[in-house]
Each structure stands twice: as C-alpha cells, then as structure tokens.
Chains A and B, each alone.
Chain A
Amino acid sequence: MSSSALQIVWVYPDLLSTYGDRGNMLILAHRARARGIPVQTHEIHVNEALPEGDIYLMGGGEDGPQALAAERLLADRGLHRAVDRRAVVFAVCAGYQLLGSSFFAKGAKFGGLDLIDISSDRGETRAVGELGGEVDPALGLPTLSGFENHGGRTHLGPGVKPLATVKTGIGNDGRTEGAWAGTVLGTYCHGPALSRNPALADLLLRWATGEETLSDMDDTWPSRLRKERLTATGLA
C-alpha cells in the first residue's frame, strides 16, 4: 500500500457508472474495514486529475461517455503510471474495453488505453443476461457469477489470460470471459460484480495490500446470494 490507509480510486463516476457500479467501491471498502484495514475512497470526476492510489475502479458507460473517458484518461496518464507501479485495476464492461488497444463506440473505432493486450469490437447481437464460468485456476477463485449487458466482443492477445471459461452467457466471445495480466483485471460482469464474487474482491485486496491471506469475515449473505444465483443459472 502507498500510505497508511488503502486508497481506492473510482475513475470517472460521472461518465462510467451505468448500473450499480458504485457497488464495487463500497464492497471493497466494506471488506477491507471488516479486516481492520483502514480505507479511503476517492471519486474522481472527469475534470479532475487521477491521484495516486492502490486500487482503481472503472465501471460501465454508454458510447459517448466511454469515448470521452478514453480521451481524458489518455491525456491524464494517471492510470498508466498506476499500472507501471503495479497498482490494482478492476474494470467492468465499458471500463474493461477501455483497458485494451481499441474499442467501438458511436459506430467508430476509438483508441483505448493499451494497458493490457486486448481489443474490442461490436458483436452481431447484444449480450444480455446471466454470465458465469470457471475462473482461471491460477487465480484460485470459485465460479464467477454476474450479469452482462453489452454489445461488444473482446479479443485476447498473448499478453493476457482469460478471467474465466464461459459456462453461461457470452462474455468476450461465448468461450472466454474477461481478462487479467499482472494486477489488472477486467470483466463483462457489469455493475456491482463483486457482490456475487466476494473471493474476487478479496483477491483484489490481497494484491493491493501484499497480504497472502485475509482474516475470515461473516459472509452469510454473499454466500446465500451466490448459492441462489449459481443454482438459478445451473452452475451450482
């Protein structure tokens, strides 16, 4: 960690917050505090410079805001500096696409932040519904579960590994879902993706703090939610 408290930076909530994206920031802060880790959260709007932090969060967004976010982040370079010093980046949906070399918005191709080896274009159909699958064993996480709502398809280069193998839904292309490299991780599980995936939230916290393990906490409600959703989607 860069200071005495864990610094969580939510990148451009005024542009990238379509549906419950705030949840990821709130869940990370809640789970850190439950372990006695002090936390500070920062909501950085598009007209502000990105501060130094330990975890950066990017949410979903409509085409116009996504393109504007790319332009501002390329000018700001704060996220690039963060990745260089191995800060954690967790991005969903439009934010995930921004991590790559290019994406499509408003019918045109835009250059992305080029932080990981992915590129995105448009699918023939919109992917809307439950999304789930088995997570890359290297990450040591249980089944991924979420909800997707996007028109993009994402192509993974050799520099990244897929986050999961799709069992239900579309994800990147119907076969793989999400991507990760180093401490940068993206997913099409949109909005409050961490609500159903507390172990993924803890992985991000472990990456950010350098702790090998975190103490146990009461996970009654996230566990019941996971069980209910995994059963409903045939992944239990």
Chain B
Amino acid sequence: MTGNLSSVEDEKKLPLRASLAASVSRTAAALSRAAGRGDGSVIGGKLGMMIDPDLLAHLAAGRKIALVSGTNGKTTTTRFTTAALSVLGDVATNSFGANMPTGHTSALARAGSTPFAVLEVDEHWLPKVIAATDPKVVALLNLSRDQLDRAKEVAMMAQLWRDTFAKHPGIHLVANADDPMIVYAVGAAPSVTWFSAGQRWREDAHVCPACGGHMERGEADDAHWQCSNGDLVRPTPQWTVDGNAVIDASGTRHELKLQLPGKVNVGNAATALAVTHYLGADTAEAAPKLAEVASVAGRYAQVERDGRKIRLLLAKNPASWLEAFDMAEDAPTLLAINARDPDGYDTSWLFDVDFSPLRGRQVLITGERAYDLAVRLEVNEVPFTHVASFARAVQTAPPGRLEVIANYSAFQDIRAELDRVV
C-alpha cells in the first residue's frame, strides 16, 4: 500500500475539487476511527462525495479495477483477490466490507495511487458502481434470498444485472456456472470466464428466470442443469475445484493450503484466481498468496477467552448457514440471532435452514431474536439452551472449542466484545 505522502502527490493529478474532497474524506475517516466510531469508511466517503459527487469516478480513473458482487462470499473473495493480485503491484480495496459507493470512495482515497483496485460491491449498487469505476472485470458469485424485507427479489436482481451487462459489453465477467440466476444475469455478455464452485443452496433456482419453466438438475452441487424449455443451460466451466485444489482454464492443478475453512472458500479462491489471471497474474505465483489470509473482518477469526477457543463464523442467510455448518467442527456451538436493519427485520428465513446437523452437539442460543430461533429449533428437534448474552455463553460452554455462528449485527456485537478482532 502507498502511504500518505504519495497520496498527496497523486492528488495533484486530480481536479482541484476532487483533490479537496479526497483529502476531507481521509481526514474524516481518521477522526471517526480516533473517536472509536467504527473504521470510518462510510463517513469519510460521504463527506468526500458531498464535495465532489464524481469523486469515485475521479479516484477510479487510471486504475485497473475488479469488482466482486453476489449474495454470499463477497468479502472473502475480495480479500482473496486482493492478496492474489498483490503479485502484480499495489492494490486498493475496501477491506472493511463497506460495500457501497461511500465505502469505495473512502477506500480509494485512503490507498492513494495504485495500479489496481479490488472492490466488494453490494448487489443493488453494482450498476452504479460499474458506471462510476469502469471496471476491467466483474466477478459474479451467486444470487439467493437475503433480507427479502428490503432486498429485491432474486429474479428482479438477476434482471437488473442482465440489463446492466447488456449496456457494458466491454467488461469481462468471471461468473458462476452452477447458479442459474448468475447465468441469466450474464445474458449475452461477450466476454466471460465461467467457474464452477458448486452450489449447495438451490431453493431459489427451481424455476427458469428466462421463461418460468421447470429447472432440471442433478443431485451434486456442481451437477449439470438446464431449463426444461431449453432457454437456459449450464455453461461449461473453464475453472473448477477438486478437493483443496483449483484447476485453471488450461487444466493445470493448483493445490491450495488455505487457512479459511470449508469447501465454499476453495470456490472463492478459484474465483479470485480466475479474476487475477484475467488481469495478467501468473496463477502458480498468485495461488500461494491465498494461504496468507487468516480471517476476513473477524470472520473465521479464532480467539482464546477463559479457556475457550472461540471461532467466529458469519451466516447471514439460508445459503450461508449451510456453508457455516459445513465449516463448523463437532463442538459446542453458540447461535446468535438479531433482526436489526443490516440483518433485515424478518426472521422467516430461519425455517429455510435445516439445523439438524447440530443434533448431538451442545447448542446455546442468544440474541435479540433468540425466541424465533428457539421455536425453529424445537420444531427441528435440536435441543438447545437459551442464554442471556455472549458472555454467559462463554461461561456455560465447557473449556475447549466453542463455535459461534451469528448473523450480521449479532456477529458485530460479539466481535466488539472480543475487542474488534480482525
């Protein structure tokens, strides 16, 4: 990363208003951090954009930009891509998960001049961020139900993306062949790298988004699928995964030694390497960089507390709960559920998750909406104990491994109790 001195130098190249805006943005972010009010990405970006509404476009100009979007895996894939791309040069990134234009603006202002930027983008904002940043490549991970009380329904989101890519044929897409919603969103885009990372969750893709017909699909996560009317067919992927290895478009096998758990992260790694390859990196050189990523904004972080080895897993929606159960060890497990604004106010999704993999483990539950979870677990025949707080859970669990699976704001609360682990 470039330091502050060189960013002042770089601002001489920006229009005067943009230069001032970038400087205010950085100062505000620093003040916010000093005041202990989060990492400052949002307030810094907001102030900068008030002074120069085109600040994001000005800051993006001259960089080779990769965007990462989808319902799940954005933050981790962004982190992997940033690590892998570092073999080519400095990379700016919004590593705090602030994935709307204010966060992008703040990240680019903070990084100063870099040849590359990798930005995680909220699904709804992708069209606007594409227009502002003119990316070389966009990675499309998956689309599934997530916070339906405020998010667009899945098919509407796929259509929004499809319309966007039709207007920007020059962008290269790195896209998930296993998700029919992603394949529909890609549409007739001329330049695509398809990857297959498997799709455990498929309840949102029973119906063809093109024609409403029935989707025919095999049992395996990465099985062939097609619409019964032939409107949409799984493309043949160029990048695939096999165990802990990624197999690239030339058929070369890259064994990974990831610190992050779960099959889903091998898929995220494949996506990151495909993006990095498109931007000119040698995959054999880039792949070992992925092993340096130990945790992502607190996710997967391991913390010792009172003899308990606590591991934090974030699960925000049905698809990501399935992945969390795949990662979690057979150990006492705390589930924490809130329903604040960033979580969505609707807890209905709890009934889309099958919690039966937790049977036989000591299950503790907490959070503002723990009773919604209690009813779900009772019906699911998963015995549990309700505890008033995270601290009580740590006291209740025996010494040793404690897996913590929490949704967004519950996760942030616990992370704050553990002194903002990163």
Interface residues of A (CB under 8 A from B): 14-15, 17-23, 26-27, 30, 45-47, 62, 64-65, 67-68, 128-130, 147, 149, 190-192, 195, 221-222, 224-225, 228
- A14–B154 CB distance below 8 A: no
Instruction: Give Cα A87–Cα B4 distance, bound, in whole angstroms.
Output: 72
Are A128 and B150 closer than 8 Å at their CB atoms? yes
Q: Which 5 A-B residue pairs are closest in the complex by CB-CB distance? A: A191-B348, A23-B351, A20-B348, A20-B351, A14-B206
B residues 194-217 in Cβ contact with A at 8 Å:
203, 206-207, 209, 212, 214
Chain A residues with CB under 8 Å of B149's CB are 128-129, 147, 149
Query: A15-B206, A65-B207, A225-B371 are contacts. A22–B214 as well, Cβ < 8 Å?
Result: no
A128 to B348, CA, bound (A): 13
Q: Which of B206, B349, B378, B380 contacts A19 (CB under 8 A)?
A: B349
Contacts A15-B206, A26-B379: A20 and B352 contacting too (C-beta < 8 A)?
A: yes
With beta carbons under 8 angstroms apart, the residue of A18, A130, A195 that contacts B376 is: A195
Q: Is A22 touching B374 in the complex (CB atoms < 8 A)?
A: no
Q: Is the CB of A129 within 8 A of B345?
A: yes
Residues of B within 8 A of A15 (CB): 206-207
Min CB distance, B359 to chain A, in Å? Answer: 15
**Chain B: number of interface residues, binned into ranges:** 20 to 34
Q: Give the one of A14, A19, A195 with max B CB within 10 A.
A: A19
Can you name the residue of chain A whose Cβ is closest to the Cβ of B378? A221
Q: Are A62 and B154 in contact (CB under 8 A)?
A: yes
- CB-CB under 8 A from B155, the residues of chain A are 62, 64
11 residue pairs A–B, Cβ–Cβ below 8 Å = A14-B214, A20-B348, A22-B351, A23-B350, A26-B351, A62-B153, A128-B149, A147-B346, A149-B148, A195-B376, A225-B375
Instruction: For the A-B complex with A18-B148, A46-B214 known, give 14 more contacts whose Cβ atoms are closer than 8 Å.
Output: A14-B214, A20-B348, A22-B351, A64-B207, A68-B207, A128-B149, A129-B345, A147-B149, A190-B348, A192-B350, A192-B376, A195-B351, A221-B375, A225-B375
What chain A residues lie within 8 Å of B206 (beta carbons)?
A: 14-15
**Are B379 and A23 in contact (CB-based, < 8 A)?**
yes
Contact B148 A228 (CB under 8 A): no
A190 proximity list for chain B (CB < 8 A): 348
Q: Given A23-B351, A147-B346, A191-B346, A224–B374 Cβ distance below 8 Å?
A: yes
Compute how far the CA of A19 lies from the CA of B378 in the bound complex, rounded to whole angstroms. Answer: 19
Q: Quick one: CB contact mask for B363-393 with A, threshold 8 Å, 1 for yes?
A: 0000000011011101110000000000000
Whole-angstrom distance between the Cβ of B394 and the nearest chain A Cβ: 23
> B415: CB under 8 A from chain A?
no
Which residues does chain A contribute within 8 Å of B350, judged by CB atoms?
20, 23, 192
